[in-house]
Amino acid sequence: MSLPVARRRALIFGISGQDGALLARLLLTKGYEVFGASRDAETQSFANLQRLGIRDRVERRVELISVSLLDFRSVLQSIARVRPDEIYNLAGQSSVGLSFDQPVETFDSISVATLNLLEAIRFHDSAIRVYNACSSECFGNTPQPADENTPMRPRSPYAVAKAAAFWQVANYREGYGLYCASGVLFNHESPLRPERFVVQKTVQAATRIANGSTEKLELGNLAVIRDWGWAPEYVDAMWRMLQQPIAEDFVVATGTSCSLQTLVEDIFCQLGLDWRQHVTYNPTLSRPTDLLESRANPSRAAEVLGWRARVQTSEIVRHMLDRNTI
């Protein structure tokens, strides 16, 4: 009688967020045992997991544990308990704007937390494969498309923290032989995004206006250019990165950028509205050092991972407005 084949185990830090929930769903479809870490798993609602149907009262397909990434002992104990094959580090303060108000908390929750995780893996089991969520914000302004060889010039406390974590990961890969890789992800959206993010903020306001609200949507600089993608596709790139024989970092993006004004116009247009009648400029919403252009060259991901973004901007808007498409 043959023994059953052991299922691979994944531990996701930051499972309550958009990417964490979408990644959990993806890994479950691939037969993984999925564990999610939260600072206090007993009090979190995990609304995103519930919305995706992978965490409800009847069927709890994701096991949740309480872990603080700023507490080395807590991290070490969680790894010893779960014994994961793969760890996905998606945790930390995720708002660029908020990072200007909370630079210390932002740095600790991203950079110090990543260092704790890497050290815990080095002490406990260096065979664990680690994915680290980096950000296109680390590049700064990129009028020419950024790739894996583009120098990092962070222009916000958030980007500084992400860049520090990126180089920590690279150092542990090269200096200690850990299998760890960073995905440098450009903007990616879904209906699971909180409303503090500009695309979701615009979608929600435009929908209310289309339903009769007389409110005005206040936005900052509409001239900024970004590469916006569809988040459910991006978590697939995360998984693919940890399936490679050799760990390396990748830029993950659509390769196509547009201005915020174009995106806002598209959102209102799909609801039969003229955005100019409903949007006002609020200079206080512009960041102290905002990025004017963010462009990407994701050809390396296509070449090595076989990953390409298939959902483009106008289709993303349709999905966001639908809210049932996720």
Is residue 267 within 8 A of residue 321, CB to CB? The reply is: yes
Give the model's pLDDT for residue 2: 43
CA nearest neighbour of 238 among 155, 291, 283, 180: 180
Going from N- to C-terminal start, the domains of the chain cover 9-189+230-255+294-309
Read off the pTM.
Answer: 0.94
Catalytic residue, candidates 16, 135, 136, 182: 135
In the chain, % of residues over pLDDT 90: 83
CATH of the domain spanning 9-189+230-255+294-309: 3.40.50.720
CA nearest neighbour of 18 among 51, 57, 66: 51
Per the annotation, the verdict on 135 as an active-site residue is yes
pLDDT digits (tens, 9 = 90+) for 64-119: 999 999 999 999 999 999 999 999 999 998 888 889 899 999 999 999 999 999 99
β-pairing verdict for 225-226 and 258-259: antiparallel
Mean pLDDT of the region 272-292: 90
Percent of the chain residues past pLDDT 70, beyond the cut: 95
Range 282-288 contact pairs with CB under 8 angstroms and sequence separation of 24 or more: 282/218, 282/219, 282/220, 283/220, 284/220, 285/97, 285/218, 285/219, 285/220, 286/220, 286/221, 287/96, 287/97, 287/100, 287/156, 287/220, 288/100
* pLDDT, tens only, 231-241: 999 999 999 99
- pLDDT in the model for residue 136: 97
Confidence of residue 3 (pLDDT cuts 50, 70, 90): very low
User: Which of 32, 38, 94, 137 is flagged as catalytic?
Assistant: 137
